[in-house]
Structure 1
Amino acid sequence: IDTTNGQGTLCQAGHPTPFVIGSGGELQAVGQGGMPVGLFPDAEYQDSHFTLGVGDRLYLYSDGITECENHQQELYGEERLQQLLCEYRKLPKNQLFQRVEKALSAWHSGETDALQEQDKKPSRPFADDISLMAIERIT
């Protein structure tokens, strides 16, 4: 990411599709997928380009979030994650991450009140790693 103009380039290499949420709530997917690194020796990877305006955030995350299942084996999904991040986009990142953790725990455990409880831990372990990173342009 060029810090002078906000222009960036990324390559997915098998990771879930990153997205940018603008300061006004607009959402833009960045990338077209791609094969995991090292899986095929002759695999080719495409760069994807994006621009971060002031106040925009780029989100990168593991599939442990979108593939998290509830008791009915329904996936949390990309759309649900995007809606949550858009809804709380104005929160400081640490508070936003706490909201995501609580929402995901509630989904996974089937506990609809988990968002209200401050120190609630999941009642059952997650099946996969859970990672979320946000990069915000502040100037």
Structure 2
Amino acid sequence: MKGSRASWRPCSRAGKNWRPKTRANRLVTGAHRRHLPWPAGRVRYCNGGHPLPVVVRTDGSLELLREGGTLIGLGGLVPYEEAEIQLRPGDRLYLYSDGVTEYFSEAGELFGEQRLFDFLLEARTHPVDQGVEELMVCLRDFGGGRAPSDDVSIMGIEFVG
């Protein structure tokens, strides 16, 4: 089903029905789930304007989940494409806000995607909750202990079978 052209109802409905108020600097994050735990490791997904979710496989490979559409709340102008992935026991799915990759060091350097991806690959041998906590510590250290300029959110989910 990967790359299906079908419109995904939860994203499409939200895109048509949700209208931002006058505050364009507000961000809404949503997740829709039908089944937890996922039956047999199958995950159907759709993105709506956030950084691409990341799957870290037990074999050390990393996969970006690219299917989706534009920002939610633009009146359903563009359909949302969905895809399905297959997780195997030990695979991890990470959802995060752009505040993670856009965290600045004292020198003005971005934490960036590559640093995040390298960290997630290295942390795959740790329990998922420990890896997320270690990432938060790494970000604070990277930023010299300064407060982030944007929201910093990350959620890690491990499929255990």
Q: Please state which band the TM-score falls in when normalised by the shorter chain.
A: 0.7 to 0.9
Q: Normalising by structure 2, what TM-score?
A: 0.72
Contact 1:7 1:49 in 2 (8 A): yes
Partner SS for 1:105:
helix
For structure 1, which runs of at least 5 residues remain unmatched after alignment?
110-121
Deviation of 1:84 after TM superposition, in Å, equals: 0.4
Aligned residue number for residue 136 of structure 1: 158
Pairing partner for 1:31 from 66, 73, 78: 66
CA distance in 2, matches of 1:42, 1:84: 36
State how 1:1-139 maps to structure 2 within 5 Å.
3-32=38-67, 34-109=69-144, 122=145, 124-139=146-161
Deviation of 1:33 after TM superposition, in Å, equals: 5.7
For structure 2, which runs of at least 5 residues remain unmatched after alignment?
1-34
Aligned residue number for residue 113 of structure 1: none
Contact 2:48 2:68 in 1 (8 A): yes
* Alignment-mate amino acid for residue 78 of structure 2: A
CA distance in 2, matches of 1:8, 1:54: 13
Partner SS for 1:64:
helix
Divergent runs of 4+, >4 A: none
State how many pairs are aligned.
126
CA distance in 2, matches of 1:22, 1:9: 17
CA distance in 1, matches of 2:115, 2:158: 21
